[in-house]
Amino acid sequence: MSGLKALVVVVVVVLLALSNQVRPLNVLAYCLIGATAVALFWSLASVRGLTVRRELRQSRAQVGETIEERITVRNQSLLPRLWLEVRDFSTLEGHSSGKVIDLGPSGARTWLVRTICRRRGEYFIGPTEIESADPIGIFPRRRWLPEARRLLVYPRVVSLPDFVLPLARQVGGVRQRTGRFQTTPHAAEVREYYPGDPLNRIHWLSTARAGKLMVKEFDLAPTADVWVFLDLEAGVHRGVGDESTEEYAVTIAASLARRLLEQGRSVGLIAVGTSRHVLPADRSDRQYMRILEELATARAEGARPLAEVIIADGYRCSRDTVALAITPSLDESWVDALQRLKLDGVGTAAVFLEPGTFGPAGKPTADSSSPIQVGALAVAGIPSYVVKQGDAIAHALAGDGRRVLR
Kindly report the CATH number assigned to the domain that includes residue 97.
Answer: 2.60.40.10
Considering the domain architecture, whether residues 374 and 236 belong to the same structural domain is answered as: yes
Residue 404 lies in a domain: no
Structural domain includes residue 168: no
Query: Are 238 and 306 within one domain?
Result: yes
* No. of helices (H) and no. of strands (E), the chain: 9, 21
Flag whether 210 is in a domain.
yes
| pTM of the complete model | 0.77
- In this structure, the answer to whether residues 41 and 58 fall within a common structural domain is no
Shared domain check, 385 and 239: yes
Provide the pLDDT for residue 7: 66
**pLDDT attached to residue 175:** 44
Give a yes or no: residue 345 inside a domain: yes
Same domain, 231 and 380: yes
For residues 56 and 188, membership in a common domain is answered with: no
Q: Tell me which residue of 87, 80, 85 sits closest to 135, measured CA to CA.
A: 80
Q: How many distinct structural domains can be found in the chain?
A: 4
Based on the fold, state whether residues 73 and 215 are members of the same structural domain.
no
Same domain, 60 and 39: no
Strand order in the sheet with 108-116: 50-56, 66-75, 108-116
Q: What is the pLDDT of residue 314?
A: 92
What distance in Å separates the CA atoms of residue 212 and residue 121, rounded to the nearest whole number? 55
Asked if residue 98 is part of any domain, the answer here is yes
Please check whether residue 237 lies inside any domain of the structure. Answer: yes
> Please, which residues bridge with residue 50 across strands?
75
108 by Cβ neighbours in 10 Å (0-12 / 13-18 / 19+) ranks as middle
Positions in the chain whose pLDDT score sits under 70: 1-18, 22, 25, 30, 167-189, 218-223, 359-371, 400-406
The pLDDT assigned to 220 comes to: 45
159 domain-assigned: no
Does 118 share its domain with 21? no
Does 355 lie in the same domain as 261? yes
Three-state SS string over 157-178 comes to CCCCCCECCCCCCCCCCCCEEC
Give residue 350's pLDDT.
Answer: 95
Structural domain span for residue 11: 3-46
- Both 332 and 191 in one domain: the answer is no
Cis peptide bond prior to 127, omega within 30° of 0? yes
Domain end, chosen from 139, 154, 169, is at: 154
pLDDT score recorded for residue 9: 64
Q: Are residues 280 and 378 in the same domain?
A: yes
